[in-house]
Chains A and B, each alone.
Chain A
Amino acid sequence: MTASDQPSARISIGDLRGSPARRRRELTVRILFLAAASLSIVISLLIIVSLAGQAWTFISQVDLALIVERGWFPRRDLYSIQTIVAGTLTVATIGMLVAAPLGLGAAIYLSEYASSRVRRTIKPILEILAGIPSVVLGYFALQVISPTIVDPICPGATEGFNMAAAGIGVGILITPLIASVAEDAMYAVPGSLREASYGLGARKRTTSLKIVFPAAISGIVAALILGFSRGIGETMVVSIAAGATGGSLFTVNPCEPGQTMTAAMTALATGSDQVRGATLAFPSLFFVGLVLFVFTLVLNLVADRFVRSVRIRY
């Protein structure tokens, strides 16, 4: 170009920037989006502040000797955290005993054996199972699972309320989650690994179990951790099917009614409007919530690590 011959026609930085109105609009939009993205930071800070504030009130006012008491009866000011933690772990473990084989079996089948047509049919059905509200599964656990499955194993289970039924209900709820995360991990294992295995004369079963499964192990571990975390945080199934709404003695016997952290919270909230009263019931709600939040946060962070290590490798 010969534009440099005429200095007056030289393009300045200002010309390249476009119209000021356009730039202003650009900046406004950018700030709006940034604000929307930053909102998640605000939300997580609010969660931590609101939980920690009331939890501190609880810790500073409660008689700490009562926390190690063997029973959770907030109406009588007995706040034994270990009771509801034990209940939570019992229910979540039963849930995992149900969900881990079902979910992993479904995942191996869908990823390694199923034709793409079967995959396309089954995966939406699993999504529907994942979308069943937990309140529905809770009622199913109480009305159906408890009498048909749990009763023959635990004769005389009290009025249908027991931790085993709740645990099985939780297991059904987390099966699709485990199946979907584990299947994603195994499906992401490159075909060349399978081909190399077949090339050495390995069977499909050997390839699935000895090559694909170990290669996807971090994703599978992540699936199990996420499932456990979900089981710990599951509320409605336990609130409906595990009983012990008034409180519970320390127990890990699945045939007995029990109280989990989540169920203890709904019991406090529905018992009456006392939750807002002057007793420690209201702050205790937040203390339990904080314990639950820390449990699941740690599990989720660990699972996140595992998931990302799969993504980096393949």
Chain B
Amino acid sequence: MNSPTRATMLLETPFHSRVADRCKINDWGNWMGYTTPNAYFDVELEYFSIRSTTGVFDLSPMNKYRIQGPDAEAYLNRMATRNISKIGINRVGYTVWCNDAGMVMDDGTIFRLGESDYRLCSYQRAIDWLLWCALGFDVTITDETEDLAALAVQGPTSCTSLTEMGLTDLNTLKPFGMRTYDFEGEKLMVSRTGFTGDLGYEVWVSPEKAETLWDQLFDAGKEYLIKPFGSYALDIARIETGFIQAGVDFVPAEEMVRPGRARSPFELGLSWLVDLEKPLFNGRTALLKEKAKGSRYRFAILNVDGNKPADHSFILKGDRQIGTVTSAAWCPTAKSNIAFAQLEMPEGSIGEEYVAEIYYQRELHWTRLLAPCKVIDGPIFNPKRRRQTPAIPH
């Protein structure tokens, strides 16, 4: 007798009826307990909707936490590595947060909704940690994950599609800015944020208005070739633009079992997010030490020869293994074969050349490919339209 498997029923997002209708190939995955499409109709075409027209991604499963109260700013400054005081009202900041050992637990975005009112969006469930962090601070923490539905609307015609839907003057919204609009008798919040590295927005409404939002958006975007995209297409876009992902490019520190497997922000190429001038934040003491002593690893973006994605490859320097690949994809727009690697210090300086040891299979036949690769300076895809304000109409 086999022992029964432990299965949990996956939840549906507020957009589910619309998503399911469009998910022609019926390829679903489990994203943090929600059933979400891996692909809707064709991964490459979905990807090209992000880069050429408008792509829509249901990001409702993202964990959303409201942080309010007189100590909200001090609380976030203690929790996150970057200086939260620099995030103005109606602005959004990307940050990571660490445990005491200075190891990254997760990354996410902080939306400043008011003077002492913030929303944190994280990939991982974080309520336990957020509540521990609240001891000694006058703040209230509310899990709003199920109270807010959200769509990422990304791509060169995204601004036009949304404007067409009624978000007047959206083109004046700056990157990492946010704004509210009246929508069907409620408030709709839109932020110029995203995970694709393109011009793009994230739109936030109550779950009750989710389907209406979807319908109106797809109507408005029809002329601009609006398409939904799934997590496979998103993965290509985020690799192309240099975004790391929790659970893929690093092990969330408090989930780590084996000592030494977690990574610090410095080791993930995120030193720009760490403000050691702040008097106190979780991990500061450890990060100061790391800064003095040197890190163990370096995050590197590699441009790999050929077109075989270097998934799970070893990186070799001569005969010596100096690192491993955490994410890899053939990136269609940049026409490059990109890999994120964790390299042992002091390896990984810009321009260094190594060999990626790639294994791939054709009809049960494994082939080993030694592909030369080179450390590049920053993401391969970083278009002007991502930053331009007013956003360029298409």
Physical interaction between A and B: no
